[in-house]
Amino acid sequence: DSALMRESNIAVQEMVNGCLCCVLVGQMKSALLELRDKYQPHRIIIETSGSAFPAPIAWQIREMADEGFRLDSIVTVVDCVNFTGYEDTSYTAKMQAQYTDLILLNKHHLVS
């Protein structure tokens, strides 16, 4: 995904040593402030892993309102081909569904 974004001349900051929710617990604020100060973006999109809980990230961004940050929405992308069976057993899937503003169904044309 980051290679595609770079081809479109969009600034990408990758966290290669783990996901944002795990590696940067307690450091997300400084990372976002650094991105803001370095690039002055109009929007920052955070793509987490499929096993991430959105609530702690959302809470931390809401806490940064005084620094000019605003949480616009939480989007969950569901892989329809591989989702069967997880919807009833996955705690993470339930938490993501509870805290999302929009659910996008990917690969829906491949399932019946």
Averaged pLDDT, 68-91: 83
Which run of H or of E encompasses 61?
A: helix 54-62
For the beta carbon of residue 61, count every other beta carbon within 10 angstroms: 20
pLDDT digits (tens, 9 = 90+) for 33-67: 888 998 898 998 887 777 778 888 888 899 999 99
pTM higher than 0.75, yes or no? no
Beta bridge partners of 78: 105
pLDDT(98) > 70: yes
Say whether both 91 and 111 belong to one domain: yes
Q: Which residues of 70-92 are buried (b: 16+ CB within 10 A; e: fewer)?
A: ebeebebebeeeeeeeeeeeeee
**Range(s) of the domain holding residue 51:** 1-71
Say whether both 79 and 46 belong to one domain: no
pLDDT at res. 12: 61
Say whether both 4 and 59 belong to one domain: yes
Which has the higher per-residue pLDDT, 104 or 85?
A: 104
Averaged pLDDT, 65-71: 95
First to last CA, the chain: 27
Domain count along the chain: 2
pLDDT digits (tens, 9 = 90+) for 15-37: 555 455 444 556 788 888 888 99
Say whether both 79 and 55 belong to one domain: no
pLDDT at res. 78: 86
User: Would you place residue 102 in the very low, low, confident or very high pLDDT band (cuts 50, 70, 90)?
Assistant: very high
Say whether both 13 and 57 belong to one domain: yes
Say whether both 23 and 65 belong to one domain: yes
